[in-house]
Amino acid sequence: MDRIKRIAGHFLPLGSAKAKVAVLGAAGGIGQPLSLLLKNSSLIGELSLYDVANTAGVACDLSHISTACKVKGYSGAGQLHDALRGCQMVVIPAGVPRKPGMTRDDLFNINAGIVAVLCEAIAAVCPDAWVLIISNPVNSTVPIAAEIFKRAGTYHPTRLFGVTTLDVVRAEAFIAELLGADPKDVSVPVVGGHAGATILPLLSQAKPQLQLEPPRAQALMARIQDAGTEVVNAKAGAGSATLSMAWAAARFAEACLRAMAGEGGVVECAYVASSLTSLPFFASPVRLGRSGVEEFLPLGPMNELEQRNYDTMLPELAGSIQKGVNFVQKRQ
Ligand code: NAD
Ligand code: LMR
């Protein structure tokens, strides 16, 4: 893995296998398009698709695509360990999505147990893998994963991520729309967590710079914070964001794989174990390297509106983190 060469814009490891990546929840609304996008990655040698059911069809379908990445499907708890064997990265979109009127925290009772079981298997089979958690409520499921790994003695805080890329992607899309710019030219940090007020887009640090009166800045911030609910309501009972989430997760997974392969200067926002604030977990821009998170980028200056949001968000995020920790402590 030491010698690297740039191929088609990516650093790939020379003389070593490409990554083996598992998607847990691969037959779901996010899992299927995410697996499709990952099948297209030149950094992945093998995709391991796991779900409680219906994975054979998804794997067979994807295996007919003429890219080099191999695809194999695994169905049911009896095949979970086989799915994880040899994986360097595990992406988890398993769990139930919201319906209109629900909060992400309303998913806790079902998804907490799902994430805990999957992380126990990761600890047993591929304890060094990078783990990317999509399942909601992310503010709590990431602390749950951390506690499960601690209990198993396999916790690598620099390699456990709550995927908050969709918040960044949305912020980029909405700002580009507002400015009439190409979204690829827009960047904006989104910090905190992944639910309502804990999603804090630092619009004052957006590039290109935004010149918005406070009420318009507040409206834009609220739209980014409520964008998940916008999709839940538009889908009217048929689930939450799947396609945009798959795109965002594929972007984050690809960033992790590039860093893993030795590319320098890879920066993305993610919800990680962090020393930036008084909280044990916090989303911020992080620099990724071969061993995972290598640097927390500073939060930077906040304007009055952002500082107010930051102050009110901290207790809510602290409560969600503690809820996850308590769940594992009470678990046999
Ligand atoms: P979905 O219901 O379409 O798919 C979930 C899949 O998980 C299903 O195929 C189901 O069979 C599978 N599953 C359930 N229990 C499982 C288990 N024990 N092991 C393996 N697989 C299991 O839901 P979706 O729309 O794909 O959403 C999945 C999760 O992602 C939800 O919790 C949702 O809230 C969350 N989400 C997060 C973000 C984010 O930004 N982090 C964005 C969108 C959705
Ligand atoms: C999102 O932001 O779209 C996801 O967290 C799903 C949801 O429930 O809003």
CB atoms within 10 A of CB 200: 26
**CA 31–ligand 2 middle distance (angstroms):** 14
Pinpoint the alpha helices (H) of the chain: 31-39, 55-63, 80-84, 108-125, 138-152, 165-179, 214-225, 227-235, 243-260, 304-330
d(CA 194, CA 59): 30
* Residue to mutate (ligand 2; options 141, 166, 190; most atoms within 8 A of CB): 166
Q: Report percent pLDDT > 70 for the chain.
A: 95
What's the pLDDT at 2?
A: 34
pLDDT tens-digit profile of 236-280? 999 999 999 999 999 999 999 999 999 999 999 999 999 999 999
Give the annotated binding-site residues. 25-31, 51, 98, 104, 111, 134-136, 170, 245
Residues with a CB atom less than 6 Å from ligand 2: 97-98, 104, 136, 166, 194, 228, 231-232, 240-241
pLDDT tens-digit profile of 273-329? 999 999 999 999 999 999 999 999 999 999 999 999 999 999 999 999 999 999 999
> Cβ contacts of residue 38 below 8 Å, gap of 6+?
21, 23, 44, 47, 69, 91, 250, 253
* 247-250-251 Cα angle (round to 5): 85
**CA 2–ligand 2 middle distance (angstroms):** 38
140 CB near ligand 1 (under 6 Å): no
Q: What is the CATH number of domain 19-164?
A: 3.40.50.720
> Do residues 135 and 94 touch, judged by C-beta distance below 8 A?
yes
pLDDT band at residue 332, thresholds of 50, 70 and 90?
confident
Identify the CATH assignment for 165-318 out of 3.10.129.10, 3.40.50.300, 3.50.50.60, 3.90.110.10: 3.90.110.10
Q: Which atom of ligand 1 is nearest to the CA of 111?
A: 32
> Do residues 29 and 20 touch, judged by C-beta distance below 8 A?
no
What's the pLDDT at 3?
A: 34
**CA 301–ligand 1 middle distance (angstroms):** 35
Ligand positioned closest to the Cα atom of 99: 2
What's the pLDDT at 17?
A: 67
What's the pLDDT at 4?
A: 35
pLDDT tens-digit profile of 55-105? 999 999 999 999 999 999 999 999 999 999 999 999 999 999 999 999 999
What's the pLDDT at 12?
A: 43
pLDDT band at residue 49, thresholds of 50, 70 and 90?
very high
Sequence letter at residue 1? M
CA nearest ligand 1 atom 39, residue: 134
pLDDT band at residue 38, thresholds of 50, 70 and 90?
very high
Active site residue 81: no
**Mean pLDDT for the chain overall:** 95
Domains 19-164 and 165-318 share a fold: no
Average of per-residue pLDDT across 16-36: 95
Task: Please give the ipTM for the structure prediction.
Answer: 0.99
First-to-last alpha carbon distance for the chain, in angstroms, is: 40
241 CB near ligand 1 (under 6 Å): yes
Q: Is the predicted pLDDT of residue 14 greater than 70, yes or no? A: no
Domain ranges of the chain: 19-164, 165-318
d(CA 179, CA 158): 36
